[in-house]
């Protein structure tokens, strides 16, 4: 079974630009979550999608957005990039079926390294 695939692996953007990152979850997984990892703040939750609906959101400004498609693939978008947005962005998929069902582990992709210059 293929793992979580994130594209691209590396990205360099200029301040003020926008960027879109892509995540293909493990086949059959319906929940996709995004995390930002920086040396200063560590791993921080961005948002989670389940069946094309955002069902949980972290404490990030509105410049960060995402969506999920009917095939469970997900994209996240960051508009008006700032230097502080430089980070490793990790996507995780989970076979969680619905709230109330016992949680299982999240499977992470290798991440997209975004550098804003």
Partner 1 sequence: AQSVTQLGSHVSVSEGALVLLRCNYSSSVPPYLFWYVQYPNQGLQLLLKYTSAATLVKGINGFEAEFKKSETSFHLTKPSAHMSDAAEYFCAVSDPGYSTLTFGKGTMLLVSP
Q: List interacting residues with partner 1 (CB under 8 A).
A: 4, 6, 31, 33, 35, 42-45, 48, 50, 56, 90, 92, 94, 96, 99-111, 113
In the complex, what is the shortest distance from the CB of residue 17 to partner 1, in angstroms, rounded to a whole number?
A: 23
By beta-carbon proximity to partner 1, the closer residue of 6 and 24 is 6
In the complex, what is the shortest distance from the CB of residue 111 to partner 1, in angstroms, rounded to a whole number?
A: 5
By beta-carbon proximity to partner 1, the closer residue of 35 and 64 is 35
Count CB atoms within 10 A of the CB of residue 90. 21
Please give the full DSSP string across 27-45, using - where no structure is assigned. Answer: TT--EEEEEEEETTTEEEE
In the complex, what is the shortest distance from the CB of residue 25 to partner 1, in angstroms, rounded to a whole number?
A: 11
By beta-carbon proximity to partner 1, the closer residue of 78 and 96 is 96
In the complex, what is the shortest distance from the CB of residue 2 to partner 1, in angstroms, rounded to a whole number?
A: 14
Query: Euclidean distance between the first and final Cα of the chain, in Å?
Result: 37
Label residue 53 exposed, middle or buried (CB < 10 Å: 0-12, 13-18, 19+): exposed
Alpha carbon distance 68, 2 (integer Å): 19
């Amino acid at each position: 079974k293929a793992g979580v695939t994130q594209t691209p692996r590396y990205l360099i953007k200029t301040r003020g630009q926008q960027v879109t990152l892509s995540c293909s979850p493990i086949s059959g997984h319906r929940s996709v979550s995004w995390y930002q990892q920086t040396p200063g703040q560590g791993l921080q939750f961005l948002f989670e999608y389940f069946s094309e609906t955002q069902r949980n959101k972290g404490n990030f400004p509105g410049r960060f957005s995402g969506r999920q498609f009917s095939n469970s693939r997900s994209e996240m978008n960051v508009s008006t990039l700032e230097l502080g947005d430089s980070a490793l962005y990790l996507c995780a998929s989970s076979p969680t079926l619905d709230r109330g069902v016992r949680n299982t582990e999240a499977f992470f992709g290798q991440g997209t390294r975004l550098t804003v210059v």
